[in-house]
């Protein structure tokens, strides 16, 4: 193949490398977000709001395809390829149901594999939401657990 034919592919590869600003962290085999890029962003610390019977996340869920593309680029991954081969979800580090913001600083491409991945984190989020609304844990404490290392909370709480 001639170099001229390769130039567009090389340019795209260089752009992809330059766009990556985040590196996954690890706790054992579990992939965690980069705290410098995805520190978590809180929308509310008001437990009464998130525990209200009429609370829904829909009014706060604004993540569009363009934002998801930026999140994947930050981490240098692509849907259904590499570590996302088994599936990735652009996930809120602090979920909307626990007062997290729909903000790029609270989003990361979380793989489903190796387990525990996003499916297990979803179980933890539901468990923490119930615990907050039952008064067993404060909302700021639940948010802190997710922002520091959701997998440690998962192992400790065993949802």
For 127-136, the pLDDT digits (tens) are 999 999 999 9
User: In angstroms, rounded to a whole number, what is the distance separating the alpha carbons of residues 144 and 54?
Assistant: 25
pLDDT at 7: 46
Does the structure show a pLDDT above 90 at 62? Answer: yes
pLDDT of 124 higher than 90: yes
pTM summary value: 0.85
Q: pLDDT value at position 114?
A: 84
Domain count across the chain: 1
Average pLDDT, the chain: 89
CB burial of residue 33 (10 Å; 0-12, 13-18, 19+) = buried
How far is residue 96's CA from residue 159's CA, in Å, rounded to a whole number?
Answer: 19
At residue 27, φ and ψ (nearest 5 deg) are -125, 100
Q: Which domain holds residue 11?
A: 3-157
Judge contact between 94 and 42, C-beta under 8 A. Answer: yes
**46: Cα separation from own chain's centroid:** 21
Show Cβ contacts of residue 105 under 8 Å, excluding neighbours closer than 6 positions.
Answer: 37, 38, 39, 40, 41
pLDDT reading at 11 higher than 60: no
At 19, is the pLDDT very low, low, confident or very high (cuts 50, 70, 90)? low
């Amino acid at each position: 193949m001639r170099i001229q034919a390769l130039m567009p592919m090389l340019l795209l590869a260089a752009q992809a490398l330059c766009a990556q600003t985040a590196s996954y962290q690890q706790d054992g085999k579990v992939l965690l977000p980069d705290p410098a890029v995805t520190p978590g962003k809180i929308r509310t610390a008001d437990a009464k709001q998130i525990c209200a019977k009429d609370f829904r996340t829909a009014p706060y869920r604004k993540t569009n395809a363009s934002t998801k593309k930026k999140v994947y680029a930050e981490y240098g991954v692509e849907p259904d390829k590499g570590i996302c081969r088994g599936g990735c979800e652009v996930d809120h580090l602090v979920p909307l149901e626990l007062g997290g913001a729909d903000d790029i600083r609270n989003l990361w491409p979380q793989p489903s594999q190796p387990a525990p991945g996003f499916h297990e984190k979803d179980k933890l989020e539901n468990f923490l939401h119930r615990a907050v609304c039952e008064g067993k844990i404060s909302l700021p404490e639940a948010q802190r657990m997710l922002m520091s290392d959701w997998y440690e909370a998962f192992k400790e709480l065993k949802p």
